[in-house]
A and B are shown apart, each in its own frame.
Chain A
Amino acid sequence: MNPAIRSGTFVLACAVVAAVVFAGARAAGNDYVFFAGYTVLQFIVLATAWNILGGYTGYVNFGTAAFFALGAYATVFFHKFYPMPVPVLAIIGAVVSGLVGLGMGYLTLRLHGAFFAIATLALAVVLQTLVVNWNYVGGARGAYVIRPADVPGLALPYIQYLFLIMLALAVIAIATARIIERSKLGYGFAAIRDDEMAAEASGVPTLRLKLIATTLSGALMGMAGAPFPYYIGYLQPSSAFALEYAVNSIAMPMIGGTTSWVGPLVGALLLGTVQQVTTVTISSAVNLLIVGLLLVGFVIIAPNGLIGLWQRLFRKR
């Protein structure tokens, strides 16, 4: 079968699932479903984006929060500078974060993988410092972003509109991940993950592939951050740069399984839902503790995540 056709079918299937999800959420007839659902969908995008670099090529990015916040602050900037529709802002967020990812990758990816990880961790601290010192986007105080009263051209409450956008972004992220996985690019990534020296020696352009992965991954994270100021209404540096984005976007693929697009999706759905429940019923600090414990537990006990466990149980070797 032609892979292009299969990818087409896949995207179509994703769109159908997304439409069913949206119809289902509307049928529930409760705004809370959209608020909670938005967060889960956002984690699907972040986890899938993280996995394109982390899972496929084996380079760990601790700076999810930085890329996410870049997207969010690009929105704050343009909200004050020249208001634009949210989908356009998502594209801008993607471009900004993608470029930063490219720059970071260019400086650090030629070295030992650990340096890249450390640099991404530090990137979050520095970008937060820049934002805190930048008054135009609110500085340390934070910035109010007032939602427009209605959605141009659509008869939808604003939260449903944001939910719909995040749903579309999730479809884009998952489709991107799956297309990469089945393409020459994906095989190149897997070769880097398994043995970078061997890949380099057999003519895989490792640096270029790693840069592509970093840029794509960063762009998707920025895209996920762009609608966030409208969702939360009041954006503070500490909420945009929260460490929970970094830990969740690593924990979700690790728990689901890092080698395919299914892993981050399963991980994000599972962990995202559990977190919504524990945040409401217990407390948000306890919920973060659970994520941390699950992450450590899974990397020790089930290194290939739930998908790996599933395969071990049901696939005869």
Chain B
Amino acid sequence: MTLIGLIAPDWGELLSYDLLLNAVMAGLLLGGFYAAVTVGISISFGILDIVNIAHPAFIILGSYIAYIVNARFGLDPIGASIVALPAFYALGAAIYQIYYLSFEKRGQEPLRGLAFFFGILFITEVTLVLTFGVDYRYVQAGYIEQSWHVGVVDLPLRMLVPCLMSLTMLAALQLFLTRTFMGRAIMAVAQDQLALQLMGADPIRIKRIAFAISIATASLAGAFLIIIQPVEPSIGRDYIGRVFAICVLGGLGSLPGTLIGAMLLGIVESFTATFYGPSWAPAVSFGLLLLTLALRPAGLLGR
């Protein structure tokens, strides 16, 4: 009896060990999804210095498009979001053009640019409320209710699929930014616009492309979101604190930093939800954001 007690951990300890392992795994899965939500902001805010606080609203828009296509045609939500990519790209290009002509060109971006994006956030949210109401919407796909079990760890596919897709998207974007001419030009426009001009590239065009890509990521992130949880128009707000916390924590303009920041926030939130209750989770990102700003504003992998 005592021997068994010495060799095997006692039941309570085992339970908490399971709980811990599951909390870490849930956090990593959540973090992978957060990376997809944040990568758009990492490009627009981190690289282009455009404080697009409307980004979460575009993600919710992406969720609703995935929802409509899924409900009408039974298409997989992620497939639907890939079909919608060009539309989001065009939307992003149009918004950047307005932003450039109205604010960047006139040199007024700090105050009015922020108000502009806040207005867009608001208009998108209210339009969605007027069109779809405030009911929660969800999508259907074969894998959503399935779950894999590896040892004691649960891997719900509803979390795993978005996480893996998100990692793929991040890897593709990182390759694009570091290996192609256009990607390098985007990284360069952040550092020295004039030098880029001297190399014969048009910085406005490059910024437009980069911003359009950042909005296009919202289409995919929106589909991931509605796979993970039911969506209603105002939940986008919960993500504003999160995305900027991750973006700042990881270091502005660094995609690997974004991934690390997202995983960290995912784990911390998962622990908070497991050990203190899910109603405290929204406060975590803000605490993390304030701590980062106070202690290391450049972020973990900051330039």
Contact = CB atoms under 8 A, between A and B. Distances in A.
Contacts of A13: none
Interface string A275-317: 0000000000110110111011001100100000000000000
Contact of B126 (A125, A133, A250, A292): A292
Interface residues of B, number: 44
Given A115-B248, A289-B126, A299-B119, A126 B112 contact: no
Nearest to A258: B111
B14 to A, nearest CB: 30
B130 A289 contact: yes
B51 interface: yes
Given A125-B238, A125-B286, A289-B127, A111 B297 contact: yes
Given A58-B111, A107-B294, A121 B240 contact: yes
Q: Which applies to chain B's interface (DSSP): helix, strand, loop or mixed? A: helix
Contacts of B115: 60, 250-251, 254, 295, 299
Contacts of B126: 285, 288-289, 292
B172 to A, nearest CB: 27
A114 interface: yes
Q: Which of B240, B280, B286 has the most CB of A within 10 A?
A: B286
Nearest to B238: A125
Contacts of B234: 243
A118 B51 contact: yes
Q: Which applies to chain A's interface (DSSP): helix, strand, loop or mixed? A: helix
Interface in A245-287: 246-247, 250-251, 254, 258, 285-286
Contacts of B241: 118, 121-122, 125-126
Q: Which of A140, A291, A293, A296 has the most CB of B within 10 A?
A: A296
Interface string B99-129: 0001100101011101110111011011101
A303 B286 contact: no
Contacts of B245: 122
Given A108-B293, A115-B297, A295-B115, A126 B123 contact: no
B60 to A, nearest CB: 14
Contacts of B45: 114
A43 interface: no
A129 interface: yes
Interface in B232-257: 234, 237-238, 240-241, 244-245, 248
A258 B240 CA distance: 26
B114 A117 contact: yes
A288 B122 contact: yes
Given A250-B115, A289-B127, A130 B283 contact: yes
Contact of A126 (B51, B282, B297): B282
A119 to B, nearest CB: 7
Contacts of A130: 283
Nearest to A57: B111
Nearest to A133: B279
Nearest to B49: A114
Contacts of A295: 115, 118-119, 122
Contacts of B119: 247, 251, 292-293, 295-296, 299
Contacts of B102: 299-300
Q: Which of A114, A246, A295 has the most CB of B within 10 A?
A: A114
Given A118-B51, A303-B112, A129 B279 contact: yes
A54 B111 contact: yes
A251 B283 CA distance: 27
A129 B37 CA distance: 21
21 contacts: A60-B114, A62-B53, A113-B110, A118-B289, A122-B286, A126-B283, A130-B283, A132-B279, A243-B234, A251-B115, A285-B129, A288-B126, A291-B122, A292-B120, A292-B122, A293-B119, A293-B123, A295-B118, A295-B119, A299-B112, A299-B116
Interface of A: 54, 58, 60, 62, 107-108, 111, 113-115, 117-119, 121-123, 125-126, 128-130, 132-133, 140, 243, 246-247, 250-251, 254, 258, 285-286, 288-289, 291-293, 295-296, 299-300, 303
4 closest A-B pairs (Cβ-Cβ)? A122-B241, A296-B119, A295-B119, A292-B122
Given A122-B289, A251-B115, 7 more contacts: A60-B114, A107-B293, A130-B283, A289-B126, A292-B120, A300-B98, A300-B116
